[in-house]
Amino acid sequence: MNNDDEKTTDDATTGTTTPGLGKKDAAAEADETGTTTEAGDENGSTDTPFTERVAVVHGDRVEVVDLHKSFGSNDVLKGIDLTIANGEVIAIIGPSGSGKSTLLRCLNRLEEVTSGHVYVDGEDITEKGVNLDSIRQRIGMVFQHFNLFPHMTVLQNVTLAPVELGKLSRTAANERGRELLSRVGLAEKAAARPAQLSGGQKQRVAIARALAMDPEIMLFDEATSALDPEMVGEVLQVIRDLAKSGMTMALVTHEMGFAREVADRVIFMAEGVVVEQGDPRELFANPKEHRTQDFLSKVL
């Protein structure tokens, strides 16, 4: 139950859906050129990978209140209370089956909650009739599996959602897409197909695709767990750069060293509850709960 992202559609990385858009239609709608960046972009940008964002919210950006999620008789989340401040990076750790991935999927309504509330900028997104497309444009998500359209170029994968959802014109989307590919170090791969990329490159494309919607919050669900060890670092560097830019983020990860380095706060989950949370250095060095101690003794 820890990773159920296989249930998502191919464009789920953006956190959006495009009604009626099949793969064949998507290819026809996408920019057929798949052109690479203008002269000077081929070698990647020399700017800071992600510029600092201007904070628009003070205090909690996300608030989770008494959140429960069940699949039939299986209670996966059992009364989660959690906040994420504007610009904060939280890392969620814990054993497989603890509900980490399900929690992330509830944060942008990829899973319907059984009971409880999720507030984003003060808006209860669990209420009936809420605009899910609007929510998912504000909350980007990157999964363990890349879910790229294989028949489309890298640039087309990145630009599809903002064009189809009317967020950007095709020209503006292509410009934004090339900029993002440069930021993740893939400017020269704009015209490539996913089959021509390594696993680490595919995941960086997936991150660029999520960022193309200009989200305010990013969720990463074990974004490196499907990668070969030598490819993990390149993806973690992109996430590290995002953290430095002030992006509000929640990460589910098994990379304990990375969680200690990047996160402002680490949350340890087990059996559907938050067992312990705190400053990364304190939690990793001096966990207070026996369950946390037992877990960390096996993974550190």
pLDDT digits (tens, 9 = 90+) for 125-166: 999 999 988 898 999 999 999 999 999 999 999 999 999 999
Tokens of 186: 């893939």
| Residue 54 resides in a domain | no
Question: Mean of the per-residue pLDDT values for the chain?
Answer: 85
For residue 147, give the nearest of 12, 244, 252 by alpha carbon. Answer: 12
pLDDT tens, residue by residue, 162-198: 999 999 999 999 999 999 999 999 999 999 999 999 9
| Residue 96 resides in a domain | yes
| Residue 239 resides in a domain | yes
**b/e burial code for range 66-76 (CB count within 10 A of at least 16 → b):** ebbbeeeeeeb
Q: What is the C-alpha separation between 178 and 212, in angstroms, rounded? A: 10
Burial of 158 (0-12, 13-18, 19+ CB in 10 A): buried
Q: Check: CB of residue 116 under 8 Å from CB of residue 63.
A: no
pLDDT tens, residue by residue, 41-78: 333 333 445 554 443 434 689 999 999 999 999 999 99
| Residue 57 resides in a domain | no
pLDDT tens, residue by residue, 197-252: 999 999 999 999 999 999 999 999 999 998 988 899 999 999 999 999 999 999 99
Classify the C-alpha dihedral 47-49-54-59 as positive or negative. Answer: negative
CATH of the domain at 131: 3.40.50.300
| Residue 120 resides in a domain | yes
What residue numbers bound the domain in which 166 lies? 62-297
Burial of 264 (0-12, 13-18, 19+ CB in 10 A): middle
Work out how many domains the chain is built from and give that number.
1
Predicted pLDDT of residue 25: 43
| Residue 279 resides in a domain | yes
| Residue 210 resides in a domain | yes
| Residue 129 resides in a domain | yes
Predicted pLDDT of residue 268: 99
